[in-house]
């Protein structure tokens, strides 16, 4: 499956999943909020889809039930640029125009597990988490990137 999005209406965004085999739309989901969807990432088996919006909202869709199962303001209004499931899929990583990358619980709505200020003059454009979940690399624009360790504190947000 391939997912695409549009913001034809001001009050919501449409996510459309296409069959890679036939090119036909296989599923349509309606997002909430006024922001356009900027970032998408499937979980390992394609049953969940994470979406980040231009107004900082992170949404988690269950593709079996065609519904949003979790959503929260992930970056206080800053546009999300990238979203990725963590290696064990118990968390989600996001980057935004506010220059931060964050890790969120995929089981507790809005629970921040870790954050780091990455960009000062350049906000992270894209992120990738290592297979063991201990490092994150962030593309910061033209020929710049940052690598950081993912260190979770007991209270989260560390």
- Quote the Cα angle for 87-6-49, to 5°: 20
pLDDT at 71 over 80: yes
pLDDT band at 112, cuts 50/70/90?
A: very high
- Give the helix/strand (H/E) hosting 62: strand 57-62
What average pLDDT does range 32-58 have in this prediction? 88
Give the pTM: 0.82
pLDDT for position 72: 94
Judged against a pLDDT cut of 90, whether residue 90 lies above it is answered with yes
Over residues 21-30, mean pLDDT: 83
DSSP class of residue 98? T
CB 129 within 8 A of CB 120: no
Percent of the chain exceeding pLDDT 90 equals 44
Most confident of 4-8, 34-38, 81-85: 81-85
**pLDDT > 80? residue 118:** yes
Strands 135-141 and 144-149: antiparallel
Average pLDDT, the chain: 83
Q: What is the DSSP string of 3-53?
A: EEEE--SSS--EEEEE-TTT--EEEEEE--SSSPEEEEEE-TTSSEEEEEE
Q: What is the pLDDT of residues 126-152, one digit of tens each?
A: 899 999 999 998 888 777 888 888 876
Q: Which residues of 113-152 are buried (b: 16+ CB within 10 A; e: fewer)?
A: bbbbebbeebbbbebebeeebeebebbbeeeebbeeebee
User: What is the arithmetic mean of pLDDT over 41-66?
Assistant: 92
């Amino acid at each position: 499956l391939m997912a695409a999005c549009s913001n034809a209406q001001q009050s919501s965004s449409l996510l459309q999943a296409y069959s890679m085999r036939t090119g036909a739309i296989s599923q349509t989901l309606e997002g909430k909020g006024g922001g356009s969807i900027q970032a998408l990432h499937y979980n390992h088996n394609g049953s969940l889809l994470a979406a980040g919006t231009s107004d900082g909202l992170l949404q988690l869709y269950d593709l079996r039930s065609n519904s949003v199962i979790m959503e929260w303001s992930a970056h206080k209004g800053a546009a999300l640029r990238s979203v990725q499931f963590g290696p064990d899929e118990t968390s989600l990583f996001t980057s935004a125009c506010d220059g931060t990358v964050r890790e969120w619980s995929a089981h507790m709505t809005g629970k921040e597990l870790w954050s780091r200020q990455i960009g000062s003059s350049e906000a992270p454009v894209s992120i990738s988490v290592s297979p063991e979940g201990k490092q994150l690399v962030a593309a910061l624009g033209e020929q710049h990137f940052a690598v950081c360790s993912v260190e979770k504190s007991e209270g989260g947000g560390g």
